Structure 1
Amino acid sequence: MINTIIFDLGGVLIDWNPRYLFRKIFTSADEMEHFLTHICTPDWNEEQDAGRLLQEATDELVEKHPEYAEQIRAFYGRWEEMLGGTFDETVQTLKKLKESGQYKLYALTNWSAETFPIALSRYEFLSWFDGIVMSGEEKSRKPFPEFYTILLTRYQIAPNDSLFIDDNLRNVKAARALGIATIHLESPKQIETALQEYNVHI
């Protein structure tokens, strides 16, 4: 019986995409994709999610790629422009779950501790969670097992009683390996149907 639901944030509740910013900076889509694939890569960004300081990461990358210095500095200098809003279907579902009072609700997110305060001030629904475990504070991140274990231990969550929702299949598989039920959310529109498969009715 599921009594605890754990949400990822970016890609599930919050629409974050660096392209929202870099489409304004690059005139060529191909050059933008090259930059996001080979310069400011997802792996590089995840190091900041896991606790590396933004300034340190920026300076190191500018030294390696001085020809992209302005664009690299924009990544965190204009980070807020990467926020595209929310996924209303999942936010409304979260609201219904909260109002039902039947479930404990947590967030498990890969997010820099330096940028997370922006999200906290912008999105009221972040206050609906019973707890948030954020990678930048813990100096670990998904998909590492110890990051999930922090949440489970801190809030005394039994894996067999919990359900984890993430848009990243890598992170879903890691949760599954720990005995947590999972939803790989490929579209926000599937959220309520996916929950019903676990007898989570709202």
Structure 2
Amino acid sequence: MTSVKHIVFDIGQVLIHYDPDAAFRDVIPDAEERKWFFDNVCTSAWNIEQDRGRKWHEAEALLIADFPDREHHIRAFRENWHQMITHSIDGSVDIMRKLIADGHDVTMLTNFASDTLREAWERFPFLTESRGVTVSGDIGLIKPDKAIYDHHVAAFELEPSATLFIDDSAKNVAGAKTAGWQSVQFIDPETLRADLNGLGIRV
């Protein structure tokens, strides 16, 4: 295995915790109704298109046309988005900062809408401390499409086989490997520390 020269972090569920349910406990107090809403209206498949670059007003209009009685709830998704990011994952942040301080080449690659990532930057300044970030919503590509990994390699002049990707999603880890990267699935900071140590990267 090629020695790791570049380390790439995902953001959501690796460095910051994302929980849509947290933003809707007051909007839709009933747990079963909230589940129905996320399973049928503001679904993951709908939300990922904002990560691909679709604008919020377009996304909302599509759902309101199908669920006019849910307009208030649909608009609450974007309006309450800040409540969905409940906290930073401090153990991971410490690891990332240690890697940067030790001189490792650290960048980020994330599925994120352009505007909401900018909000996250303001709340969590550590998200701007790496060498740079590829944001899916800025370029119209999303993980696990091979094209987004290739774009990141070109943008930051990485050597794919010497690049380690850290992501909580198994399919995104698999996508990185398909692009010729090394990759580990994020479970928790302790596991990440052990994975890095196993690759000869001391943190």
TM-score by length of 2: 0.96
- Residue 36 of structure 1 corresponds to which residue in structure 2? 38
State the percentage of identical aligned residues.
31
- Residue 91 of structure 1 corresponds to which residue in structure 2? 93
The AA in structure 2 aligned to 1:153 is A
50-59 or 22-31, larger mean C-alpha shift = 22-31
Shift of 1:186: 2.0
Shift of 1:67: 2.1
- Residue 199 of structure 2 corresponds to which residue in structure 1? 198
- Residue 166 of structure 2 corresponds to which residue in structure 1? 165
Aligned residues: CA RMSD: 1.0
Deviations 1:73-115 (A, max 9, x none): 00001111111010011000011111111x1101000111121
- Structure 1 residues 189 and 158: alpha-carbon distance in aligned structure 2, compared to 1, 3 A threshold: same
- 1:5-154 matched pairs, under 5 angstroms: 5-101=7-103, 103-154=104-155
Q: Is the CA contact 1:5–1:163 (under 8 Å) kept in the aligned structure 2?
A: yes
The AA in structure 2 aligned to 1:167 is D
Count of residues paired in the alignment: 201
Instruction: Report the Cα distance in structure 1 between the residues aligned to 2:121 and 2:11, rounded to whole angstroms.
Output: 12
Q: Is the CA contact 1:89–1:191 (under 8 Å) kept in the aligned structure 2?
A: no
**Any stretches of 5+ residues in structure 2 without a counterpart?**
none
Partner-residue secondary structure (3-state), 1:31: helix
**Any stretches of 5+ residues in structure 1 without a counterpart?**
none
- Residue 187 of structure 2 corresponds to which residue in structure 1? 186
Instruction: Report the Cα distance in structure 1 between the residues aligned to 2:18 and 2:186, rounded to whole angstroms.
Output: 15
Instruction: Report the Cα distance in structure 2 between the residues aligned to 1:32 and 1:109, rounded to whole angstroms.
Output: 26
The AA in structure 1 aligned to 2:39 is T
TM-score by length of 1: 0.96
Partner-residue secondary structure (3-state), 2:24: helix
